[in-house]
Amino acid sequence: MRAEIISVGTELLLGEVTDTNAPYLSQQMAQLGIDVYHRTTVGDNEHRLVAALEQAQANSDLVIITGGLGPTADDITKQVVAQFVNQPLVGDQAAANKITHYFTERNEVPAPNNRTQAEYINGGQSLTNSVGLAVGTYYYAQATKTHYVLLPGPPHELQTMVEQELVPVLRQSLPNLQPLFTHVMRFFGISESRLAALLADVIAQQSDPTIALYAQHSEVTIRLASRANTSAEAEKKLMQCANVILERAGQYYYGHGADNSLANVLVQKLQQEHLTIAAAESLTAGLFQSTLATIPGVSAVFYGGFVTYATEAKERFLGVPHELIAQNGVVSQATAQAMAQHTQKRAQTDIAVSFTGVAGPGQVDGLPAGTVWIGLQFKDQKPQAQEFHWPKMTRQEVRQRAVLAGLMMVLQALKKQ
């Protein structure tokens, strides 16, 4: 089963919009056991869309076309594909009623263009859009044995339609797929190339599951993938391989799951242990705390904290002595430790983390951009601090890396206790 994705939209070709639908669809198809072999992008232009459809029909069994289902004059996808497969468009009554209702509620009258949003390709199946107005289509062309799928361009509409409508339809229409089972392992504190070197012989010897490394946002993920008939069979192979990897690189491992994150793992661990956390951020200016707060349920463990951007704020908000900062410098072990200590005292939490450093582009007190101290006050233990150097990163990269390093420091302290 060979699949191809055609993304339609002049705004994509102009580079005004980044196509996140195509990678999302690739992942969804891979999970179903469908390989995407080709991806193409064309503008809102009939001639070029037809050329892309001709090529896709020659190369692929499944052609997924995204975008161009809207009500404006340049939305031509549905009309062009219908003509390409020699079928008229027909109305989906429920979708038409929804459009009428939508406009009536707003005291407006739908234009003829709006009504076409409820149409799908005759002989195919309408895919309901539960978060927007334009329906999608699944259509199987007998003559060429090609499956066609039309999906709306807005990512939240597309994703909802894929999960609620398309995946069940494809499972039914393509019963012989061998799904891909994956296990995603997440690492922090080691580079992609060092991790690859650590695992070189394992990767070379391994064919099922396959092992793929990806570096993203200062983390490295390893994706193990195996095709199997049952999830139990896949699970066994995946876990055996994961254990071999953990023996080599366990110290950098923090969790598994494609949607997992360091913040998520830490918040869960804090919840399990009934521990509370606070922070004082200079360098990161609130990014550590706002990252923690992205995790639902964080309020049980996260109290709050301080953004002590100005040096004076470290004294006024936290009570760090002026002399300590003057003697050691604002980016120093002593200042980082004192910030964590005083934050814990003010917030009365179990744990307090602090960040001070040079985001750049310039130096501070003769320290180069990328110098970072992270402090940690863990219960009534002695305060700790770790120094980091990330000299070649941008201002924003230094801050993001520091947030992850802070999360990892707390996680490691929790594991040690």
Q: How far is the CB of 377 from a copy of itself (least distance, A)?
A: 17
- Tell me if 330 sits within 8 A of 356, measured CB to CB: yes
- Site mask, a copy of itself, residues 351-390, x = CB under 8 A? --------x-x-----------------------------
Measured from the CB atom, the residue of 95 and 279 that comes closer to a copy of itself is 279
Measured from the CB atom, the residue of 98 and 399 that comes closer to a copy of itself is 399
Measured from the CB atom, the residue of 43 and 123 that comes closer to a copy of itself is 43
Amino acid (1-letter code) at residue 415: K
Q: Going by DSSP bridges, is the β-strand pair 371-378/351-357 parallel, antiparallel, or unpaired?
A: antiparallel
Q: What is the 3-state secondary structure (H, E, C) of the chain?
A: CEEEEEEECHHHHCCCCCCCHHHHHHHHHHHHCCEEEEEEEECCCHHHHHHHHHHHHHHCCEEEEECCCCCCCCCCHHHHHHHHCCCCEEECHHHHHHHHHHHHHCCCCCCHHHHHCCEEECCCEEECCCCCCCCEEEEEECCCCEEEEEECCCHHHHHHHHHHHHHHHHHHHCCCCCCEEEEEEEEECCCHHHHHHHCHHHHHHCCCCEEEEEEECCEEEEEEEEECCCHHHHHHHHHHHHHHHHHHHHHHEEEECCCCCHHHHHHHHHHHHCCCEEEEECCCCCHHHHHHCCCCCHHHCEEEEEECCCHHHHHHCCCCCHHHHHHHCCCCHHHHHHHHHHHHHHHCCCEEEEEEECCCCCCECCECCCEEEEEEEECCCCCEEEEEECCCCCHHHHHHHHHHHHHHHHHHHHHHC
Q: Is 136 left (phi over 0), alpha (psi -120 to 50) or beta?
A: beta
The yes or no reply on residue 347 touching a copy of itself (CB under 8 A) is yes
The yes or no reply on residue 190 touching a copy of itself (CB under 8 A) is no
Measured from the CB atom, the residue of 138 and 302 that comes closer to a copy of itself is 302
Site residue total, a copy of itself (CB under 8 A): 68
Q: How far is the CB of 225 from a copy of itself (least distance, A)?
A: 9
Which listed range, 112-120, 200-208, 301-309, 378-386, lies at the site for a copy of itself (CB under 8 A)? 301-309
Q: Which of 78, 147, 399, 401 binds a copy of itself (CB under 8 A)?
A: 399
The yes or no reply on residue 296 touching a copy of itself (CB under 8 A) is yes
Of residues 258-287, which lie at the interface with a copy of itself (CB under 8 A)? 279, 281-282, 284-287
- Going by the DSSP 8-state scheme, the letter that residue 219 receives in this structure is E
Separation CA 137–CA 148 (nearest Å): 8
The yes or no reply on residue 38 touching a copy of itself (CB under 8 A) is yes
- Going by the DSSP 8-state scheme, the letter that residue 367 receives in this structure is B
- Tell me if 332 sits within 8 A of 357, measured CB to CB: no
The yes or no reply on residue 16 touching a copy of itself (CB under 8 A) is yes
Which listed range, 74-82, 110-118, 164-172, 311-319, lies at the site for a copy of itself (CB under 8 A)? 311-319
The yes or no reply on residue 223 touching a copy of itself (CB under 8 A) is yes
Which listed range, 16-24, 260-268, 334-342, 380-388, lies at the site for a copy of itself (CB under 8 A)? 16-24
Measured from the CB atom, the residue of 124 and 329 that comes closer to a copy of itself is 329
State the residue for tokens 């964590």: 340
Q: How far is the CB of 69 from a copy of itself (least distance, A)?
A: 16
The yes or no reply on residue 15 touching a copy of itself (CB under 8 A) is yes
Say how many C-beta atoms besides its own lie within 10 A of residue 143's C-beta: 8
The yes or no reply on residue 1 touching a copy of itself (CB under 8 A) is no
Q: How far is the CB of 290 from a copy of itself (least distance, A)?
A: 4
The yes or no reply on residue 294 touching a copy of itself (CB under 8 A) is yes
Measured from the CB atom, the residue of 125 and 401 that comes closer to a copy of itself is 401
Which listed range, 22-30, 245-253, 322-330, 375-383, lies at the site for a copy of itself (CB under 8 A)? 22-30
Of residues 42-81, which lie at the interface with a copy of itself (CB under 8 A)? 42-43, 48, 55
Q: How far is the CB of 88 from a copy of itself (least distance, A)?
A: 29
The yes or no reply on residue 179 touching a copy of itself (CB under 8 A) is no
Binding site for a copy of itself (CB under 8 A): 11-20, 22-28, 30, 36-43, 48, 55, 212, 214, 216, 223, 279, 281-282, 284-290, 292-294, 296, 298-299, 302-310, 312-313, 316-317, 346-347, 359, 361, 395-396, 399
